[in-house]
Amino acid sequence: MIRRPLLLTLLLATACTGAHASSFRPAATGAHPGGVLRVGITAPGSVDPGNDYEPSGDLVIRTMCDSLLTTDPRDGSIRPGLAESWVVADSGAKLVLRLRKGLRFSDGTPLTATDVSYSLSRIASADFASTGADQLRDIAGFPEVHGDKETNSDTDRRKLAGVGTSDKRTVEITLNRSYADFLRVLATRLTAPVSSRAAEADPRGFSRAPVCVGPYRLAEPFAPGTGSLRLVRSKAYVPADSGLTGGGTSYADEIRFQVYPSASAAAAAAASGAVDIAPALASDVGDVRTGAGPEIDYLGLPTDTAPFDNADVRRALALSLSREELVRRVYPATRVPATGFLPPTTGAARSCDALPPAGDPTAAAALLAKAGVDLRGVRVPLVFNDEFRNRALVTEVARQWQEVLGLDAVPTPLTYSAFLAQGRAARGFRAPFRFSWSASDLDGYLTPLFSSDAVGRDNLSRFSDPAVDEALLRRAWRASDAVDRSLAYRRIADLVCAKMPVIPLTNGLRRYVVAPRVGSASGRFVDSSTGQPLLREMYLR
């Protein structure tokens, strides 16, 4: 019989392996360390990795903390991070990670597999109440730790049963189902390991001054309402992020975040020279760096309600819309037309033939004729939550549908809570509705929105297709190889393209004003897999 530690050693010997210091990506000529990089942001919700939930806090966290795995900022592929190697086993139901040697937290104490186990259990904990806890729902033991299932075991209430440690550097994660793409959850900063010793010593204070592994630490504890926060060098850092030049060591000696009441105020600060980088306004054209964002705007269609239960009608509705015109009128310079179900941030985007950017009214008319459906004079609500630019978006959709198809879609506003309650009710939506979505992995754009099991939850179109369910279960969730997994999800996206239960409208576009005095060691200023600025790659010329 092969003993368990030996078996894990053999598995890891054949796993995906990481980059060593000598093979980390070199910096561009002229990139040098030093100076203070000034960044304008809106107020962070949290700087604790275990409660990473909004862009400003995420930017601080990802600059300060390393994750177990990371994504390549060029193409979104999974790369080694704190874990130098990993293996996917049991048809995607088990993940085994091997930590790099010599890793230390910013307070100088060593990172061990026990800290990883603690960090994941902390996120899942009902007491900690992380906004991202559901991302760990697939780990065995989650219901007990999260308080969804009663247990008499104090250990099961405190520690995820599905996270084990065979030695100081080996972490084993057992899932409740086959889900190989869980690797991408481990590449988010939500799951970045934190010091169990420091967190347990002062839980409340820790959330304001988290101790993680990374090139920086907070100079002072973060206090909500503060006007600024500073990241200063951590002397304990060992390069570990193989997606960044030099292993993520970073260039600025200090990164100073200035907090503004709005994105426009931050942009104005960049224009005045008060900060070096900030979100750009739509009117900004000079010194602007752009990258794809993870957000997609959709029009949902109730697939169990006539005439939207006909796939040809749904495709005709998609073909009748010019996304180029929609972006020009509603989101100039801030979004781009969506031509498929996977955004560029996934690294697996592909276009649907029913989603040409300029639309195709002739093809739309032909599909309606084929279906024997005439939408002229038909009156339906067009439901939306009345926030941000949503009213302008649905008004433009209604205008185009009226002009091309004669369909009278009436914008119908709801509060967000009422919108969600109606969508998840037993009957669900009975008319088209607008919603948006973003996710950290490929699966997150497909399983929640289009699997039969998600009807009544996130699958608000109530779409159900055995071919999609089978492709998820038999192919995508079980694929241990990253290429096979990407191909499987692209195949599912193609299946959804043919049925069009929802209509992708726009993809997010992240734009930042970057001062001329700032250069990038990689030549890239925005991460293509997250849409966040690559502060660790920026240096002062």
Domains of the chain listed by start with CATH number: 4-282+515-540 (3.40.190.10), 293-509 (3.10.105.10)
| Distances in whole angstroms, Cα of residue 408 to Cα of each of 137, 324, 374, 435 | 42, 21, 12, 20
List phi, psi (to 5°) of 259: -95, 130
What percent of the chain has pLDDT above 90?
A: 80
List phi, psi (to 5°) of 111: -85, 130
Per-residue pLDDT of 59-118, as tens digits, reads 999 999 999 999 999 888 899 999 999 999 999 999 999 999 999 999 999 999 999 999
Can you tell me the distance from the alpha carbon of 528 to that of 414, in angstroms, rounded to the nearest whole number? Answer: 33
Q: Which long-range contacts does 59-63 make (Cβ < 8 Å, 24+ apart)?
A: 59/257, 59/532, 59/533, 59/535, 60/229, 60/231, 60/257, 61/189, 61/192, 62/189, 62/530, 62/532, 63/214, 63/216, 63/231, 63/250, 63/255, 63/535, 63/536
pLDDT confidence bin for 6, thresholds 50/70/90: very low
pTM, entire model: 0.86
DSSP string, 103-151: -B-TTSPBP-HHHHHHHHHHHH-TTTT-TTGGGGTTBTTHHHHHTSS--
Average pLDDT, integer, range 44-67 = 96
List phi, psi (to 5°) of 316: -65, -40
SS3 328: helix
pLDDT value for 516: 96
Per-residue pLDDT of 331-387, as tens digits, reads 988 899 999 999 888 878 889 999 999 999 999 999 999 999 999 999 999 999 998
Average pLDDT, integer, range 537-541 = 97
As given in the structure block, the two tokens for residue 224 are 């909500």
pLDDT confidence bin for 8, thresholds 50/70/90: very low
Q: Is residue 169 predicted with pLDDT exceeding 70?
A: yes
pLDDT value for 168: 97
Q: Are 532 and 510 in contact (CB under 8 A)?
A: yes
Average pLDDT, integer, range 238-264 = 96
Q: Is residue 210 predicted with pLDDT exceeding 80?
A: yes
Query: What average pLDDT does the structure give for the chain?
Result: 92
List phi, psi (to 5°) of 112: -125, 170
pLDDT value for 529: 86
What percent of the chain has pLDDT above 70?
A: 96
Q: Other CB atoms closer than 10 Å to residue 466's CB: what's the count?
A: 8
Q: Is residue 22 predicted with pLDDT exceeding 60?
A: no
Contacts of 362 (CB under 8 A, 6+ apart): none
pLDDT confidence bin for 200, thresholds 50/70/90: very high
Q: Which of 20, 98, 29 is nearest to 522 (CA)?
A: 29
As given in the structure block, the two tokens for residue 501 are 């239960």
Rg of the chain (C-alpha set): 24
